[in-house]
Chain A
Amino acid sequence: MLLIHCPYCQEERPELEFRNTGEAHIARPADIANISDEAFEVFFFLRDNPKGLTYERWRHIHGCGRFFNAVRDTVSDKFVTTYKAGLPKVAVVRADDGSVRVSDRVEGAGL
């Protein structure tokens, strides 16, 4: 069982308290009613399934109840970092030895 750091509670808690809620940083289009079928397909149906680093949403459902974002390596199943919902995408870098850490550089603005 993984330990997950809730950025709101500021604590590592067991995975049982959390629920994974899918890929992160997919913004709901502001004018969603008028987007094209293709744009809707991209927004709603298409998801990455990377081998390696993935940005995903979690909810501390049996704790504070807050949704937050996480970067996890799907190969090692290790969390690189977690951060509050609404914060910009955290950039991470993979070192030569395969380990991953948060980069100093902040990537684009996307929520």
Chain B
Amino acid sequence: MSGANRIAGKGRLTPARTVRFTFDGQALTAVEGDTLASALIANGIHLTGRSFKYHRPRGMLSAGPEEPNALMDIGRDSARRTPNVRATVQEVFDGMQAKSQNRWPSLSFDIGAVNNLASPMFAAGFYYKTFMWPKAAWKKLYEPVIRNAAGLGVSPSERDPDHYANHHAHCDVLVIGGGVAGLAAALSAAHAGAEVIICDEQPEMGGAFRHETDTTIAGKSGFDWAQAVVAELRAMDNVRVLTRTTAFGYQAQNHVGLVERVTEHLAAPDARLPRERMWQVRARQVVIATGAIERHMVFANNDRPGIMLASAARTFLNHFGVAVGARVGVYTANDSAYNAAFDLKRAGVSIPVIVDVRPQVDAALLARAADLGIEVLTGHAVVDTKGSLRVRSMKVARIGGGGGKDYAIDALIMSSGWTPSVHMYSQSRGKVVWDEASERFLPGVHPQASMSIGACNGTDDLNETIAEAVRAGRESAEKAGVASGGGWAPPAAVAGTSWAGNMMGSGEGAGPDTTVKAFVDFQNDVTAKDIRLAVREGMESIEHVKRFTTNGMATDQGKTSNIHGLAIAAEMLDRPLPKVGLTTFRSPYTPVTFGAIVNHSRGALFDPTRKTPMHDWEAAHGAVFEDVGQWKRAWYYPRTGEDMHQAVNRECRTVREAAGLFDASTLGKIEVVGPDAAAFLNLLYTNSWDKLEPGRCKYGIMLREDGFIYDDGVVGRMAEDRFHVTTTTGGAPRVMHHMEDYLQTEFPHLKVWLTSTSEQWAVIAVQGPKAREIIAPLVEGIDMSSEAMPHMSVREGRICGVPTRLFRMSFTGEAGFEVNVPADYGKAVWEAIWARAEPMGACAYGTEAMHVLRAEKGYIIVGQDTDGTVTPDDAGLNWAVAKKKPDFVGIRGMKRPDLVREGRKQLVGLQTRDPKIVLEEGAQIVADPNQTVPMKMLGHVTSSYWSENCGRSIAMGVVAGGRSLMGQTLYVPMPDRTIEVTVTDTVFIDKQGERLNG
């Protein structure tokens, strides 16, 4: 027998199929199909954790996803651990390791329980008040102590070895919930011809029939009828049945997120199966059939282990065959708890008394109680309980009568009524409406293509529910535009349980004049007193009450607590409950693992990696790569024994002394073609393109409409109507977007076509005095002499037999070429050039040397030397702004008063007095280092390097009025010293530019 509290002949599990698991290291036996909760109770264990704030002993409150207390750490092995799993949802598998949380050193003896004694300190709002001052104490004292004492669960430290699946699904009708309403709606919609998905969070569908066993439908018990319907649905081609699948998020336009737990219940899952599967369903129509959630009673010490919802006790008995106790007290304001008591009694459990707060109770119920020999006390209340690690007695008193009598019990089941589960409706942006007659919030207008049916819609009667569901299924199919002639007639049903009776807020003995701990929200340890305190502190809006007390927050989302909290606040405010308002239910309905959300997007699949055609060659030649956006770019090529600085120094020297090869393939490239191509570029760039002859190229600057530099690059004119535009590496997509925007919406009259060619061309920069000599023998059909092909020209021909666009241009200040070849030939051409270059003393150089070489020449990098607030004039690029053009993007913006005023920051060179000191990029520049802090800052360093070619450090920076400060001394204050710098122009090498003509 797997547990002393199994009742022979009860429940739907097969007793012979046992599985072994551990709880806090103790070996226990369960039956296949048990949840951790049912298995623990079968073994007589109710104590499952300590509460969040007060560390009070807690047990299972429920038997389902609304469970606020029994949160466990579930492990399969050291890497497969999940904290905060609800024991009432987790199915036991062979070898499962379950651990209680939030206790130290052990569950039965917990140091943190001292918080319970010090509870005035932990009253509502304690975070906000107690720990406001002094500030330093928060970090050093309060927070670490609170985190150690209160944290719920510990995240696993190892990498998750499992995989997760993501499935986009489309259907005509999505049915959320597999109770009687959902099943009937699904069958009705399916028979009408709709593509249907139905999901339910439980392993078996049937909803309330898991616990409610008195109903018959079509001559079968409710549960058996449900299984027959599921079998029928599964057999239909147009239906997908998803069990263990929770709808957790309802987004815009019927986009509903479901998470399916695929292997969490299996002892030895197939490694090919995903652990969980995320379903992103887009449904034409959604039918919400999420049922109702039972509420607890709010009275003093209502949180001891063994005290639980009546429906939970009934589920444990009727589904799992487990009695929650041997002597069970009943405290209710609702009829359905009677059926729970009757079931327990018939299974041999002693029921000393049913305590009902209502003065009048249905006579038939009272008669059945009498038949079973159960005492019923109407107009009475449970006013207190005793028992340290499990409830052992309850005190029962007449309402308004005082005093009371103690009953010895080992479990107490309770019900204050049923709250329609409007979470999904509320998430769909629906606004709940207060129904005065039944005193509950119900769905109002459905803002999306959806409808609510059954208990979540406030439909209590079984036959009405079925009729409503059949109608909804039919209507959904019709609205989805797929309804055919078929249909499904509702079966005859006889209900066995009444769900009537409703009580909200605190009960007898837990009113405003008391100081008892009557819990409203078990997960967040919020008592009735806390809610009253919040109102007394001036929180009038329920949203403020929620945040002040944390009622209904975190993973719980107020499933059992919201209505009680609202009722107590309303009573304190002396306002009708609907006037105080219900808080918003947020997604997710129940916690969703990061694994399911992140899904495939991890490791190499987290973000695309872009590699140039020459990448493998670079890697084989020892390149160290840097990430530039998604690109991997060769940063430098260290030789044996070289560190980064030595490698970069050698590369910089070699380029100026011999030559270097650089992979410039990541540059953005856009082909601008059409009769109006030049006119278009005239509008997009500050430069004028009219006079640029085919075969020549030019450096262009692009502004935003506000007059600030947006991008730059060299543009070659391939033909009268064809330009080869280059952009910065990072700017390629946004420049294309910017160009398309103007072409499509502002200048649609221009006949121009734009094509992104960034990945079509591999680009090999060959720079240095020997550049021409290296490539000339490989080139066909192009006269490469300096006279025929001067600096800033472009030719089409062939290199190594493949087509090339050969640019004569330079980003180093040396004579050089940029060889563009179709990307597929990039590596072969690179290797051919390298075969000639290497024996001639050339090297391959990376992005770091490229940065140094360009800085030696004062060439800016957009995004490094500019930051979105730099004008062409600020950057010293006025020469590139056409003076006579009537229009270009930015022409008006750059004339704004602030952009033309004196004293703007201008790009200048900076030379440290000590040539060995290399400034830090981003360092601030001041005129007087002895002024008081905060100092007046004139600007900052934008680029700074050691220049081996100059034999000293070089830097550029933006400085207020910088060009008028040439030769003057400024200062860069650093934490450890102040660095003296001289303002210079930005060209540090070959000021006449003679090397370009090499």
Size class of the contact patch on chain A: 20 to 34
The tally of residues in B whose CB lies under 8 Å from a CB in A reads 23
B252's nearest neighbour on chain A, judged by CB, is A2
A4's nearest neighbour on chain B, judged by CB, is B253
CB–CB B745/A85 < 8 A: yes
Residues A32 and B891 in contact in the complex (CB < 8 Å), given A44-B706, A76-B429, A77-B252: yes
Which of B182-190, B386-394, B736-744, B814-822 lies at the interface with chain A?
B736-744
Contacts of A103 in B (CB 8 A): none
Interface string of A72-109 (1 = CB under 8 A from B): 00001110000001100000000000000000000000
A87 to B892, CA, bound (A): 27
A77's nearest neighbour on chain B, judged by CB, is B252
A51 close to chain B: CB less than 8 A = no
Interface secondary structure of B, over-half rule:
mixed
Closest beta carbon of chain B to A23's beta carbon, Å = 12
CB–CB A35/B744 < 8 A: no
B740's nearest neighbour on chain A, judged by CB, is A65
CB–CB A3/B253 < 8 A: yes
Q: Of the candidates A32, A77, A78, which one forms a contact with B892 in the assembled complex, judged by CB atoms under 8 Å apart?
A: A32
CB–CB B255/A1 < 8 A: yes
Closest beta carbon of chain B to A33's beta carbon, Å = 5
Contacts of A55 in B (CB 8 A): none
Kindly identify, within residues 246 to 297 of chain B, every residue whose CB is under 8 Å from any CB belonging to chain A.
251-253, 255, 282
CB–CB A76/B447 < 8 A: yes
Q: Of the candidates B253, B705, B741, B891, which one forms a contact with A67 in the assembled complex, judged by CB atoms under 8 Å apart?
A: B741
Residues A33 and B886 in contact in the complex (CB < 8 Å), given A44-B893, A76-B429, A85-B744: yes
Interface string of A37-67 (1 = CB under 8 A from B): 1001000100000000000010101000111
Contacts of B429 in A (CB 8 A): 76
B890's nearest neighbour on chain A, judged by CB, is A32
A78 to B447, CA, bound (A): 10
Kindly identify, within residues 176 to 214 of chain B, every residue whose CB is under 8 Å from any CB belonging to chain A.
none
Contacts of A67 in B (CB 8 A): 740-741, 744-745
B120 close to chain A: CB less than 8 A = no
Residues A32 and B740 in contact in the complex (CB < 8 Å), given A1-B251, A37-B897: no
A54 to B744, CA, bound (A): 21
B887 close to chain A: CB less than 8 A = yes
A21 to B734, CA, bound (A): 12
A2's nearest neighbour on chain B, judged by CB, is B252
B544 close to chain A: CB less than 8 A = no
CB–CB B447/A32 < 8 A: no
A32 to B893, CA, bound (A): 9
A59 to B706, CA, bound (A): 22
A37 to B897, CA, bound (A): 8
B896 close to chain A: CB less than 8 A = yes
Contacts of B748 in A (CB 8 A): 85-86
A44's nearest neighbour on chain B, judged by CB, is B705
A40 to B896, CA, bound (A): 9
Closest beta carbon of chain B to A84's beta carbon, Å = 10
B787 close to chain A: CB less than 8 A = no
CB–CB A33/B891 < 8 A: yes
A34's nearest neighbour on chain B, judged by CB, is B892
A99's nearest neighbour on chain B, judged by CB, is B447
Closest beta carbon of chain B to A2's beta carbon, Å = 5
Closest beta carbon of chain B to A28's beta carbon, Å = 5
Residues A2 and B253 in contact in the complex (CB < 8 Å), given A61-B737, A65-B740: yes
CB–CB B887/A33 < 8 A: yes
Contacts of A66 in B (CB 8 A): 744
A61 to B739, CA, bound (A): 13
B754's nearest neighbour on chain A, judged by CB, is A65
Contacts of A19 in B (CB 8 A): 737
Interface string of A1-30 (1 = CB under 8 A from B): 111000000000000000101000000100
- Most chain A CB within 10 A, of B282, B705, B745, is at B745
CB–CB B896/A37 < 8 A: yes
B574 close to chain A: CB less than 8 A = no
Interface string of B423-435 (1 = CB under 8 A from A): 0000001000000
Contacts of A61 in B (CB 8 A): 737
A99 to B106, CA, bound (A): 58
- Most chain B CB within 10 A, of A32, A57, A65, is at A32
Kindly identify, within residues 737 to 787 of chain B, every residue whose CB is under 8 Å from any CB belonging to chain A.
737, 740-741, 744-746, 748
- Most chain B CB within 10 A, of A19, A21, A28, A76, is at A28
Closest beta carbon of chain B to A73's beta carbon, Å = 11
Contacts of B740 in A (CB 8 A): 59, 65, 67
CB–CB B893/A28 < 8 A: no
Closest beta carbon of chain A to B247's beta carbon, Å = 16
CB–CB B892/A40 < 8 A: yes
Contacts of B892 in A (CB 8 A): 32-33, 35, 40
Residues A40 and B253 in contact in the complex (CB < 8 Å), given A66-B744, A76-B429, A76-B447: no
- Most chain A CB within 10 A, of B252, B737, B746, B892, is at B892
Closest beta carbon of chain A to B870's beta carbon, Å = 18
Contacts of A32 in B (CB 8 A): 887, 891-892
A45's nearest neighbour on chain B, judged by CB, is B706
Contacts of B251 in A (CB 8 A): 1
CB–CB A57/B252 < 8 A: no
Closest beta carbon of chain A to B297's beta carbon, Å = 39
A39's nearest neighbour on chain B, judged by CB, is B892
Contacts of A57 in B (CB 8 A): 745
Closest beta carbon of chain B to A86's beta carbon, Å = 7
Contacts of A37 in B (CB 8 A): 896-897
Kindly identify, within residues 411 to 441 of chain B, every residue whose CB is under 8 Å from any CB belonging to chain A.
429
Kindly identify, within residues 639 to 683 of chain B, every residue whose CB is under 8 Å from any CB belonging to chain A.
none
Contacts of B741 in A (CB 8 A): 21, 59, 67
B891's nearest neighbour on chain A, judged by CB, is A33
- Most chain A CB within 10 A, of B253, B748, B891, is at B253
CB–CB B745/A1 < 8 A: no
Contacts of B705 in A (CB 8 A): 28, 44
A70 to B311, CA, bound (A): 51
A21 to B886, CA, bound (A): 26
Closest beta carbon of chain B to A94's beta carbon, Å = 15
A54 to B251, CA, bound (A): 21
B704's nearest neighbour on chain A, judged by CB, is A44
Contacts of B891 in A (CB 8 A): 32-33
Contacts of B282 in A (CB 8 A): 3
CB–CB A28/B897 < 8 A: no
Interface string of B856-892 (1 = CB under 8 A from A): 0000000000000000000000000000001100011
A76 to B428, CA, bound (A): 11
A61 to B756, CA, bound (A): 13
A78 to B282, CA, bound (A): 16
Closest beta carbon of chain B to A98's beta carbon, Å = 9
A86 to B896, CA, bound (A): 29
A95 to B887, CA, bound (A): 45
A3 to B284, CA, bound (A): 12
Contacts of B896 in A (CB 8 A): 37, 40
A2 to B429, CA, bound (A): 14
A37 to B893, CA, bound (A): 9
Interface string of B2-46 (1 = CB under 8 A from A): 000000000000000000000000000000000000000000000
A106 to B704, CA, bound (A): 33
Interface string of B706-722 (1 = CB under 8 A from A): 10000000000000000
Given contacts A33-B886, A61-B737, A67-B741, 15 further A-B contacts (CB under 8 A): A1-B253, A19-B737, A28-B705, A32-B891, A33-B891, A37-B896, A37-B897, A40-B896, A44-B705, A57-B745, A59-B741, A66-B744, A67-B744, A76-B447, A85-B745
Question: Can you report 17 residue pairs joining A to B where beta carbons are below 8 Å apart?
Answer: A1-B251, A1-B252, A1-B255, A3-B282, A28-B746, A32-B887, A33-B887, A33-B891, A35-B892, A40-B893, A44-B893, A57-B745, A59-B737, A59-B740, A65-B740, A67-B741, A76-B429
The 8 closest A-B pairs by CB, nearest first: A67-B744, A32-B892, A33-B891, A28-B746, A3-B253, A85-B745, A2-B252, A67-B745
Binding site for B on A (CB under 8 A): 1-3, 19, 21, 28, 32-33, 35, 37, 40, 44, 57, 59, 61, 65-67, 76-78, 85-86
